[in-house]
A and B are shown apart, each in its own frame.
Chain A
């Protein structure tokens, strides 16, 4: 049985709770935060295999800023970007910063779970090599 750790960063609390719940039920170590700042705190405490990151977070750090910090602190993590409003600029920035994938909302939870699993699979293949 495989298990791995996931960090979910999204300002939408309901979404974070639901996803974290679903992941935990599948025996995945999942944690959720609702801002970039809170994400940095979580990154300081634990390592993550896969990180799900919302690009548009009003208020504090936005997704791209957060992604830059993730790259510095945990370059080994695979990051999936998620957004309701596609923008070409953030797409290019995100992909240049090595994001694993860029998904446009609405995404079905099932699809998201598949992507998370595939991201972990990629990471574990790289870890082995």
Chain B
């Protein structure tokens, strides 16, 4: 009985287990899949950490702990998988992981005092450091209030300690844990069922007496400050920790408006219960976030019976380079400003000139107001006010001033909710990072033509540390020059050198004619965050000493003069988040996770004992696992699935392992199969794509010189084995309906996993592509081009730095086959794309060429 038949047999009618050699093989194959899934999980975590390290978003120690926990969890999965496949040969990797794990734990262990504290806290004492105690929303509000003195409504924060007490009361936590045990993310209907049951448990649970008392006292204190005869009404908003939930789950957790004093306890339960919505549960399950890392704080703010309210963006999300501050306003309470019921007033303020650029007043016939018995209700706006402006000029300018201060403080554009009280006072209700389209995206949108007003002095450089720098060019010839360099100057040199480190705190940018992205100076530049461009041909000749220049270390270009639109992108460089304990801890923890020291599998250093980081372990496991998988042919007889080579005129060496029904293998020692002997439906589709006449044996095409050199340079500067690995094998594990295709070329690899059968609900394609030869800018462009192509092929696509993940679920097999054929073409096409990636415009050109089947990139 073949492996796949056994799987099917178990899936359908129970049969007595039969044992043959393929049982072992099949068990190893499951471990292999497990290992690959863990590998994907780890790649995600690394990309997420790299993003968090940019300091553009808020997180607490709980986030750091969760990420570290996930990283160790997935690494362990990989190690166990490898040991299973390799017959316990790699147990020493566990000892290595244990050492790293201990170092990480020493960094993230929380001091006892952090958990101690109050159940309820006033905003006066809350700042950004307290995220773990009060959740993201409350920590931010406290920070705004204490650090910037921007008025917020009166109120209090319910802490995560209160949450712990609530969950620990009676046997609630056990009952919730019991429900969560055995929950399987592959069965969404079961997840929904469990979620509903847990929410029910929470809604029925008793709130501990001490918490009831603390809430009653806090509410009554607020109530005593209300004017005579005006009852206290609260806005209660979720403020979760345990992940970057405030960003991921914006709007997912419960927020309740106009809560009366006697509704507070019930509202608290409802908000806590919202931790267990189907969506939140699914997210945590699929991301491997432990439930015990979750906690819910609640922000309780006195309702402002707003005359008007709205939303303000400190930047235009579509074009943050512009000086615009965007303000929306409606009459009454805020929700109508965002949910499209009323077209809001629009005010646009120029942050530099303080002029109001747009003053667009709409007709606002209805408004949302506080209901007398709690909740909110719609009401008509008095006819004479309908077409009136919600804000006066002074009020607009006051809000704009907040936007500028908040952005400066947090170092990143802000999304702000505000309200105008009946006494004419403005208050801030919420401030959070504005999810900006990444700078690279912004750069794409700003056509290169935008900077054509400025003279380009040098172009085509290698970006080593992205950013923008402006100042007088300063030619460095000797060590003495380094001592004389002025604050804010741009260091211009022939060769890069680690000696430049002594000037790095002073200079606004570095450019050099020669240097490498992996060089010592390059890492120093990144550490000091100095925008740096290397490989700028004749830089010292074309950039005269003393001339004012702007270095665009996103595109690798140097302009003469001051390029304002570029410099406007600079505020993102500083961030108050970088000063938090959580950030500093993440920095240290990330150093045990992210750096890759084992780059050369052929080196004698490439062994378990040399691993210093999680990434090292991951790399070594990945390498060993393919070796082990391909030794599986020693275990199983030839007929049962040895690795065989595909005999086809393709520019890749493809080796195949059959799990059953995927290949037609005849008796004998033949180790090659032809196309017509491939029966695996998904593999056949991919191969069909690869066989496209313009891809499988392309004629030499004209090469853009700069592009060619970038690719060659990266290959030549890379450690020797990287160049050697250029011709590595690709592997495919197949059955009649299944394909797992993996291809690694140096740092560039792609994994394609697909099931393609009659059952629509089982069919899927997941495709992941990462890295590759060429410098970072080109890699990033390539990934974005791939993402565009996949999006237009209907895939759900996610891009993180130089990795793109795409997924397509539940389509008819004919459609899946069609998409696989396209991926087959794409796999070969990516090899030709690098040369083209010489400008931002090439991202779209490359995508378009593919979609128009112009694979040879002919103009």
Contacts and interface: CB of A to CB of B under 8 A. Distances in A.
Contacts of B80: 91, 101-104
Contact of B14 (A2, A26, A103): A26
Interface string B150-185: 000000000000000000000000000000011111
Contacts of A128: none
Contact of B182 (A22, A106, A114): A106
Given A91-B76, A95-B88, A110 B182 contact: no
Given A95-B83, A117-B23, A3 B16 contact: yes
B635 to A, nearest CB: 11
Query: Helix, strand, loop or mixed for chain B's interface?
Result: helix
A114 B27 contact: yes
Contacts of A118: 23-24, 26-28
Contact of B186 (A22, A91, A108, A113): A108
B84 interface: yes
* A-side interface size class: 35 or more
Contact of B17 (A12, A85, A101, A117): A117
Interface string A74-96: 00000000001110110110010
Interface string B1-42: 000001100110011111100011011101100100000000
A11 B11 CA distance: 26
Contacts of A122: 24
B45 to A, nearest CB: 14
Nearest to B74: A86
Interface string A11-40: 010110000001001111000000000000
B16 A1 contact: yes
A14 B98 CA distance: 33
Contacts of A102: 80
A116 to B, nearest CB: 8
Interface residues of B, number: 40
Contact of B76 (A1, A86, A124): A86
B179 to A, nearest CB: 11
Interface stretch (B89-97, B426-434, B568-576): B89-97
Contacts of A114: 6-7, 10, 23, 26-27, 30
B16 A2 contact: yes
Nearest to B99: A88
A88 B77 CA distance: 10
B320 to A, nearest CB: 41
Contacts of B802: none
Contacts of A108: 184, 186
A105 interface: yes
A10 to B, nearest CB: 10
B14 A22 contact: yes
A32 B438 CA distance: 54
Nearest to A11: B181
A121 B24 contact: yes
A113 B183 contact: no
B72 interface: yes
Contact of A84 (B6, B27, B28, B181): B181
B720 interface: no
Given A114-B30, A121-B23, A121-B24, A92 B94 contact: yes
Contacts of A104: 34, 73, 76-77, 80
A111 interface: yes
B384 to A, nearest CB: 62
A91 B79 CA distance: 10
A71 interface: no
Contact of A86 (B16, B77, B88): B77
16 contacts: A2-B18, A84-B181, A88-B76, A88-B101, A91-B76, A91-B79, A104-B77, A106-B185, A108-B184, A108-B186, A114-B7, A114-B10, A114-B23, A115-B27, A117-B17, A121-B23
